[in-house]
Amino acid sequence: MSPSHPPFRVLFSRDTILRRVHELARAIQDDLQAAGATTPPCLVSVIEGARPFARLLQQVLPGQLPVYEVRASSYGRGTVSSGQVAVSGAERIPVQGQHVLLLEDIVDTGRTIAALRARFLGDGARSCRVATLLSKPSRRVVEVPLDYTGFEIPDEFVLGFGMDLDGRYRELPDVVIYDPEVERSFRGAAAATGGA
């Protein structure tokens, strides 16, 4: 059977991601215990990209905490950030007096997380921490504190495990590096054989 997607280079396999998310969950729990937290954090996932990461964390953290979702988009189309962050759905999340833990797939320029932290703190959250699966420190434009980071990566555009390019490749189980050349030759080969 021919593969259904281009053979992009795998940066982190699903197994590696699972292991790291377990470590992050342990660190989150340790910090909560050390702080003597009496209430669980209010988990807020930045959709759509962070959904798989948030789902995993939810499964691994005790108590099946609810995960609220907020939509934020700084990418219009393609791989270049527009610089503008549009937020929707934040008004439905009861953050007042809560310790918010923002769950993000990848922090790039930092604009999205900066905008969301400002929003939730402005809405009365007691604190707003950030857990991100991936971070590209070399791309930062706005300095944001990242409390829990799965992996730091170089300046590459990545896909899979929730992350997409104009809606494509989100469902890939691994995190892969996008390569337009690999995509072009895959499509060319598929077209020649009458495939996708």
Positions annotated as catalytic residues are: 108
Rule CB under 6 A: is residue 90 a binding residue for ligand IMP? no
Q: Which helix (H) or strand (E) holds 27?
A: helix 14-34
Contact 84, 74 (CB under 8 A): yes
Cβ closest to ligand IMP, residue 56 vs residue 97: 56
Count of residues binding ligand IMP (CB under 6 A)? 17
Cβ closest to ligand IMP, residue 124 vs residue 150: 150
* Interstrand relation of 81-88 and 99-107 (parallel, antiparallel or unpaired): unpaired
Rule CB under 6 A: is residue 75 a binding residue for ligand IMP? yes
Contact 144, 45 (CB under 8 A): no
Rule CB under 6 A: is residue 104 a binding residue for ligand IMP? yes
Among 146, 82, 138, 80, which Cα is nearest to 113's?
146
Rule CB under 6 A: is residue 102 a binding residue for ligand IMP? no
Among 168, 151, 175, 152, which Cα is nearest to 9's?
175
Tell which one of 6, 17, 21, 105 touches ligand IMP (CB under 6 A): 105
Where on the chain is the footprint of ligand IMP (CB under 6 A)? 46, 49, 74-75, 81, 104-112, 157-158, 163
